[in-house]
Structure 1
Amino acid sequence: MPQTVLITGTSSGLGRRTAEVLAEQGHTVVATMRDPEGRNRAAAEALVKEAQGAPGRIRVVPMDITSDASVESAVDAAVEQTGHLDAVVNNAGYAVTGIGESVTSDQFLDVLDTNLVGSHRVARAVLPHLRARRSGLLVFVSSGAGRITAPGMGVYSASKFGVEALAQAYRYELRTLGIDVAVVQPGAFPSNLATSQVVGADTSRLGDYAEVLGLTQGFMQGVAAAFSSPQPPDPREVADAVVALLETPAGQRPDRVSVDRFFLGETVEAINAGIRRPTDHLLASMGMSAVLG
């Protein structure tokens, strides 16, 4: 059944691809991005054009997820234009990488405001509409780096570890209200995340880190090899994971879906399973069985 889905961060990368695929599948997409009439005008027009002739449709709405007022205005506009929302995909985000000591406090605060607090802003804006209908799906796009970290990834991972915790708490809190919450955990995909990443600004701190920096370079070479393999990671795999969540009956959706055929997927899935069982046991022993599932 066609659904109405709001997606954040659709000017490029995984967000744009997800919007395109959902329209292909017949869904109505509210694609949000910053400044679609200005610096992202070309991206907005291309996205709408891409959906022409598709069974579904795409509407572009401006949203800056670092602003409460912008998020609330965008959600109100989405509901006014489409009548209601069935699902929301919290996708917008960016990466700050580099040795932890080189990342300034301002850089850290900025990425948390976008990746973590931004997801919370969107959830708070849409939940009154979903609660009123006692149904809906909240999808949080995290990362394999939301379960595993490595040298040079600490700050980005911290933001995504936070997304994992936030989404899990929402899943518990909303279960009895008929609203599902799921996390999608992409691995490394060819997208704008790598090209738009911000590197730690205080390079004066790096003198003693030559050995560790060499290790991080080796890791990135492995990612590059995967991208150039005969069957490289395809961003559509993430979009297909979102489609699968939409098509799964309410109340039966998994808490997490790892999307990674190369580096992190098997390990992330093992961590997901390893955490789920003892956590469910603990909450059940505290009389909270009603929020599990």
Structure 2
Amino acid sequence: MITKTASHSEETTVPQTVLVTGTSSGLGRRTAEVLAERGHTVVATMRAPQGRDRAAAEALIKTGDGSPGRILVVEMDVRDDESVDAGVAAAIERAGGLDAVVNNAAYAITGIGESVTSSQLLDVLDTNLVGPQRVTRAVLPHLRPRRSGLLVFLSSGAGRLTVPGMGAYSASKSGLEALAQAYRYELRPLGIDVSIVQPGAFPSNLAASQVAGADENRLADYAEVLQLAGAFMQQIGAIFAGPQPPDPREVADAVADLVDTPSGQRPERVSVDRFMLGRAVTAINAGTKAPTDALLRELGLGAVVS
């Protein structure tokens, strides 16, 4: 496990074709831009490139036209099996193949756990956890015969630890951590790399578009806990307002660094957070890996450990 900042390698890299989900805004859009800037072909997916996302799609294509690489836009809704299958097929047809996939599409839900309805929880799990599973299952039949490729899962620092008011979102990202970890073990013998990127809090559309628990009638007894959650959010706000606030480019560079890293050398997890949460997440990553790897070796599974 390593911690990344905005720096990246200046070495010459081999251009690759990378599918990135959820590129209409936020970290996904910035990642697509940086990958094209580094000379890669990007297949940027979004739900409605001919509709409400049209301006974002046109802006990305224009950015690609002015970059060493290029950006193609493909329609995809990660919550729909048919849309994912069609989107991956279109990506392979238009780009001539895929070398890497960045599972980025997600949204945040906040609020005291009791205020989050079952339908809200199912929806966030469908997007943040089942969505990456859909995309991964759609691309693996293309990657497996080649015995090469890279899957990047955009998790979160909240996938390693949680605070009051973040249980539903953390649950979706904790599940993604487990899913991606299993894929790393399973795909290692097939020559396909899997890495997990753990952004901290960044000023992006994810934060701006977060959804609150819908059942406010359940909150009457939570005044003290809400105050604690509010104090935490105030600390995050202070970081955003500081002299060197977190920059979404840091996450985009971390993803691009993974794409540029030679096969077999990509790390298991990359924490992208220069602030207090990043220190905790890095410590949790390190503290978990050693005993987990030791247990797997004892169980005769050393071949999947890296």
Residue among 4, 7, 15 paired with 2:28: 15
1:204 maps onto 2:204 in alignment:
no
Match of 1:84 in 2: 97
Shift of 1:51: 2.1
CA distance in 1 between partners of 2:99 and 2:50 (Å): 26
1:74 maps onto 2:87 in alignment:
yes
**In the alignment, is the contact (CA less than 8 A) between 1:245 and 1:253 conserved in 2?**
yes
Question: Does 259-268 or 151-160 show the bigger shift?
Answer: 259-268
CA distance in 1 between partners of 2:298 and 2:263 (Å): 26
Matches within 5 A, 1:7-156: 7-156=20-169
**Alpha-carbon deviations, 1:185-238, whole Å to 9, x = none?**
000001011111110000000000001101111111111111111111000000
Runs of 5+ in structure 2 lacking a partner? 1-13
Residue among 270, 277, 296 paired with 1:257: 270
CA distance in 1 between partners of 2:179 and 2:42 (Å): 24
**Alpha-carbon deviations, 1:148-191, whole Å to 9, x = none?**
00000000000000000000000000000000000000000010
CA distance in 2 between partners of 1:222 and 1:50 (Å): 34
Matches within 5 A, 1:272-287: 272-287=285-300
CA distance in 2 between partners of 1:243 and 1:195 (Å): 24
CA distance in 1 between partners of 2:128 and 2:57 (Å): 22
Shift of 1:252: 1.1
Runs of 5+ in structure 1 lacking a partner? none
State the structure with bigger RCO (CA 8 A, min sep 6), 1 or 2. Answer: 2
Normalising to structure 1: TM-score of the pair? 0.99
**Alpha-carbon deviations, 1:14-34, whole Å to 9, x = none?**
000000000000000000000
1:4 maps onto 2:17 in alignment:
yes
Residue among 211, 230, 239 paired with 1:217: 230
Q: Which SS does the other structure have where 1:32 is aligned?
A: strand
**In the alignment, is the contact (CA less than 8 A) between 2:63 and 2:71 conserved in 1?**
no
Q: CA RMSD in A?
A: 0.6
CA distance in 2 between partners of 1:21 and 1:85 (Å): 17
Shift of 1:52: 2.0
CA distance in 1 between partners of 2:66 and 2:156 (Å): 32
Q: Which SS does the other structure have where 1:5 is aligned?
A: strand
Matches within 5 A, 1:158-237: 158-237=171-250
**In the alignment, is the contact (CA less than 8 A) between 1:187 and 1:263 conserved in 2?**
no
CA distance in 1 between partners of 2:83 and 2:260 (Å): 30
Query: After TM superposition, which residue ranges in structure 1, 4 or more long, deviate above 4 angstroms?
Result: none
